[in-house]
């Protein structure tokens, strides 16, 4: 049996690596292909990360996965267009309840929620690693995130004597704007298996999310990666992170909207605490979303029991 993951290659999707590892461990062949390569070989399951998918192969089981809702501008319109043009799959997966609610399909197609995950155990922790940076920011640097306010703290603000590592991709325009700033380092794209090593080279992780939809409602992968590395988290104040703290604990330094409290003294004097991440491993997230039970119903020879 082969599961083919179709990926538009426009964003970081570590979940694909998690899926490949999980299904390979259960003896299932996997392929990761672009949309242009989708018809190059036979498979039993097509697993699309959307985006758009307007024509389907009815001979295979089709899964649609929505990692996020559309981002501004015209985010609501974009989601409506996706809803209208995307073909009907056999199963849908959404990153969280908010993303599922944004599309509001009124059909009988089964669905599940599969959130972001982290590695199990402690093998990814490097307690003796040398700290080369004061802060790290991981993630996209698109204009909608308004990162200039943050970065300016390191050029002419209270943190101009402190260093920042930016792990991202497609950052050429931004890195050019800060080319004369020696304390801001841009790296990437970084292979997923190396991300945690780079994160742990910094003292603090920055979770900088605009307090606007859909950003403030969606799971912050970088926040969970920082927490998985057991590092102190500095974050903007918005709905998802507050809900996460209420549900899983931890203590994080919340930035004021104007970043006036973003000073080295206040960051260092704050009392941080780590959340309970026991339910956030990739395997538990995959098992909890219902897709394994669905696949077992379509392929009676499959068994994913622990």
Question: Is 219 inside a domain boundary?
Answer: yes
Residue 9 confidence class, pLDDT cut points 50, 70, 90: low
Angle, in degrees to the nearest 10, between helices 192-199 and 14-25:
120
**Residues 213-229: what's their mean pLDDT?**
93
Q: Are residues 147 and 254 in the same domain?
A: yes
Q: Are residues 33 and 95 in the same domain?
A: yes
Question: Is 91 inside a domain boundary?
Answer: yes
Q: How far apart are the first and last CA of the chain?
A: 20
Supply 294's token pair.
Answer: 């669905």
Beta-carbon contacts of residue 27 (< 8 Å; ≥ 6 apart): none
Q: Are residues 158 and 256 in the same domain?
A: yes
Question: Is 151 inside a domain boundary?
Answer: yes
Kindly report, residue by residue over 115-151, the tens digit of the pLDDT. 999 999 999 999 999 999 999 999 888 877 888 999 9
Say if CB 118 and CB 228 are below 8 A apart.
yes
pLDDT at 10: 56
Q: Are residues 55 and 105 in the same domain?
A: yes
pLDDT at 12 > cutoff 70: no
Question: Is 306 inside a domain boundary?
Answer: no
Number of domains present in the structure of the chain: 2
Q: Are residues 78 and 139 in the same domain?
A: no
pLDDT at 279: 95
CATH number (domain holding residue 253): 3.40.50.2000
Please give the Cα distance from 94 to 109 (Å, whole number): 13
Supply 133's token pair.
Answer: 């940076």
Question: Is 305 inside a domain boundary?
Answer: no
Q: Are residues 14 and 61 in the same domain?
A: yes
Q: Are residues 100 and 139 in the same domain?
A: no
Kindly report, residue by residue over 23-54, the tens digit of the pLDDT. 999 999 999 988 778 777 789 999 999 877 76
Residue 182's domain comprises 133-269
Question: Is 126 inside a domain boundary?
Answer: no
Residue 62 confidence class, pLDDT cut points 50, 70, 90: very high
Question: Is 122 inside a domain boundary?
Answer: no
**Residues 192-203: what's their mean pLDDT?**
95
Please give the Cα distance from 38 to 5 (Å, whole number): 9
**Residues 244-259: what's their mean pLDDT?**
97
Q: Are residues 145 and 265 in the same domain?
A: yes
């Amino acid at each position: 049996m082969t599961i083919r993951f179709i990926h538009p290659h426009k964003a970081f999707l570590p979940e694909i690596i998690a899926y490949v590892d999980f299904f390979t461990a259960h003896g299932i062949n996997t392929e990761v292909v672009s949309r242009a390569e989708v018809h190059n070989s036979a498979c039993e399951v097509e697993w699309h990360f959307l985006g758009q998918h307007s024509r389907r192969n009815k001979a295979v089981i089709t899964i649609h996965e929505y990692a996020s809702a559309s981002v501004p501008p015209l985010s609501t319109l974009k989601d409506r267009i996706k809803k209208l043009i995307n073909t009907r799959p056999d199963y849908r997966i959404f990153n969280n309840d908010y993303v599922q609610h944004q599309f509001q399909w009124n059909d009988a197609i089964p669905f599940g929620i599969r959130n972001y995950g982290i590695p199990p155990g402690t093998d990814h922790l490097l307690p003796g690693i040398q700290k080369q940076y004061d802060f790290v920011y991981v993630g996209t640097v698109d204009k909608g995130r308004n990162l200039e306010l943050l970065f300016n703290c390191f050029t002419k603000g209270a943190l101009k004597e402190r260093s920042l590592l930016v792990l991202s991709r497609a950052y050429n325009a931004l890195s050019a704007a800060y080319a004369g700033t020696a304390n801001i380092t841009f790296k990437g794209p970084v292979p997923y298996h190396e991300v945690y090593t780079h994160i742990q080279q910094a003292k603090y992780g920055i979770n900088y999310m605009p307090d606007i939809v859909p950003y403030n409602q969606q799971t912050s992968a970088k926040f969970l990666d920082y927490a998985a590395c057991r590092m102190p988290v500095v974050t903007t104040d918005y709905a998802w992170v507050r809900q996460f703290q209420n549900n899983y604990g931890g203590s994080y330094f919340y930035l004021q909207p104007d970043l006036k409290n973003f000073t080295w003294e206040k960051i260092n004097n704050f009392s941080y605490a780590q959340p309970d991440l026991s339910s956030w491993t990739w395997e538990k997230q995959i098992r909890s979303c219902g897709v394994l039970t669905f696949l077992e119903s379509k392929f009676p020879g499959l068994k994913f029991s622990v």
